[in-house]
Amino acid sequence: MARDPRYDILFEPVKIGPVTARNRFYQAPHCNGMGRTHPTAMAVMRGVKAEGGWAVVCTEQCDIHPTSETTREIRLWDDRDIPTLARMTAQVHQHGSLAGIELAHMGYHAYNATSRETQIAPSATPLFGITPGHAREMDSTDIADYRRWHRAAARRAKQAGFDIIVVYAGHGLSLAMHFLSPLTNRRTDEYGGSPENRTRLLRELIEDTKEEVGDSCGIAVRIAVDELLGKAGITSDREGRLVLDLLGELPDLWDVNVSEWHNDSQTSRFSEEGFQEPYISFVKQHTSKPVVGVGRYTSPDRMVSLINKGVLDMIGAARPSIADPFLPKKIEEGRVDDIRECIGCNICVASDMLSAPVRCTQNPTMGEEWRRGWHPERIPAKDTDDRVLVVGAGPAGLEAAMSLGQRGYDVMLAEAGTELGGRVARECRLPGLSAWGRVRDYRIGQLNQLANVGIYLDSAMTAATVLETQCTLVAVATGATWRRDGTGRSHVAPIPGLGEGNIFTPDDVMAGAPITGPVVVFDDDHCYMGGVIAEKLRAQGHAVTLVTPMAEASAWTVYTLELGRIQKRLLEAGIEILGAHMLSALGRDEAEVTCVHTGRSHGLACAATVLVTGQDSDYALHQALTKDGDAMATAGIRRVIRIGDALAPGTIAAATWSGHRFARELGRRLPDEPTYRYELPALAEPI
């Protein structure tokens, strides 16, 4: 199809100093959990973004010196690091895009766990988070050294083939921003005090970089114009504007956002598309240079509006480019309905936080481009004559049926209920999770384009009806059920007294079961479910106490950058959070809770208890089929496999990945060796 003329403006070239981007799509720097540990996987992933139409494809942050050492990012410490990054630029250039690199020094945020170098900062300060130790205050020699390290890294980046060098002063993670912020810069010399002095180092870094490589590389500045801390920090109506007034014409491009990372990458549970616009909309009034910003944009109409209103010159994206690396090309080719929209769940962030290759709920191929050879838009044509039955239309079943259909297989998708989506259809009705419905909606849209996939609602399958389908492969995607006996992470056996209490599970709450308060929600799952269930019950007017063995509600969401916002929302809703306590017993109108540290117990009045603990896979159909091998052979079924939560309950991302893997591999048995490629470190010179 032809591109809609309304979107022509998105495909105009943008000049960035001495280089030109072929369109207005800019993949902003984002972490990926691969870095220097999996450099080829990282390079190929970035290359796929370029193939998908992103005119600029940036790295994650790149450490420039051992005094700023992380465990999972790329680095340019010396010339030995150049070949690793040259592999990435080659992949990006192959598709006509520009490669950008974000040069970073993390200051007092640096781990230095391997290098053991003392962290440095504008002013002496305790290390970030709960890490023991302090960063020392930089003297004039340290500042000169930092400038020299940055200049050397820019020179090496040019040698590696990068077209855009990003001077990093954002997210509260960078030394340059530590100098900018009055919260972290308490100096009294020429680098501290007034905003002009605190801006001095950033000016010098920009000038150094332009002098070193500006003849052939565009120089960008990535900066937080608001720390969302009010007058205590940088704000977009005061010092954020002043920095632009002082430096507005110096770089070739401004990449603007808010700080810190948990503010810049807010989930859809707490923010809408374009939530940063009130903070960044002033920037173009203070510079003639192109401006890029992010906001989890997936709507091309919204993108055009941003350009026409003079808010941005380029549409930046990290998470939307992960969910759909081909987003620009789909707009260009008139396939807007085929965009795989980001749901803003931050599972991509969580994987990086756990030092694992990036993954995505919407895009199961993310991180697997080189490791398994999976491409987000291409899948091999069928290579067997199988007819496939997929039982269950949750995220795993939908993904399997869609991908199998795209391969050319004849597929029957049987769903016992009257709607598609499984757990996604239920969970997207919970507070704040409506965007998660995109997982279902995208796959239904794609399935409706496939004549070789038949969808059968209200079709509960038994072993007998499966045998009658004339299918040769069966994928059981029947999901999982929340347990009602309290068995979970902390309890290895059922909780005493459950027979006397009024017991519910998240399945009951989502199904609309009538519940009377006060309610105790026992969260031994620690992901998002306990918090949203408590929020839903409170919105219904119940008094709610959330009890958890962890210190905070939904503790795992520290990895999705939501933990603080979840506590705030629950507390502001009037929900009591009782941390570090177990649900130890249950009576008719009282729950007994026990402190995990002291073992002391006390009672909580409750008319109902919701157990958010463990889950059981629903795989009775799989058992019924596989116990009768003769019947399967007679019916021509050569394999029955469980996928998604029916195999092992997990995240929605794990379910879509499981369904996709089945479609690619048709449920082949586990081999004795890894099913993906991986890299080994090169040995040093002989010892």
Q: Which token pair is 525?
A: 């799952």
Q: Which amino acid is located at 221 in the chain?
A: V
What pairs with residue 535 in β-bridges? Answer: none
Q: Which of 115, 128, 105 is nearest to 184 (CA)?
A: 128
> Under 8 Å CB-to-CB from 593, ≥6 apart: which residues?
547, 578, 581, 582, 583, 584, 601, 602, 603, 604
Distance CA 687, CA 683 (A): 10
CB 545 within 8 A of CB 581: no
Distance CA 392, CA 401 (A): 10
DSSP 3-state of 70: coil
Distance CA 262, CA 266 (A): 6
Q: Which of 586, 405, 576, 430 is nearest to 511 (CA)?
A: 430
Q: Which of 72, 63, 166, 145 is nearest to 105 (CA)?
A: 63
Distance CA 236, CA 11 (A): 29
Burial class (CB in 10 A: 0-12, 13-18, 19+), 572: exposed
Distances (CA, A) of 469 to 131, 136, 439, 448, 640: 59, 71, 28, 21, 13
Distances (CA, A) of 149 to 66, 71, 136, 298: 10, 19, 18, 38
Alpha helix positions (H), 181-313: 195-213, 239-247, 261-264, 277-280, 300-308
Exposed e or buried b per residue across 424-457, where buried means at least 16 C-beta atoms within 10 angstroms of its C-beta: bbbbbebbbbebbbbbbebbeebbeebeebebee
Q: Which of 486, 457, 500, 621 is nearest to 549 (CA)?
A: 486
CB 118 within 8 A of CB 136: yes
CB 397 within 8 A of CB 644: yes
- E strand segments, 122-186: 125-126, 134-137, 164-169
Distance CA 619, CA 645 (A): 9
Distance CA 642, CA 226 (A): 48
Q: Which amino acid is located at 102 in the chain?
A: E
What pairs with residue 169 in β-bridges? Answer: 223
What pairs with residue 582 in β-bridges? Answer: 594
Q: Which residues are catalytic?
A: 31, 168, 171, 264
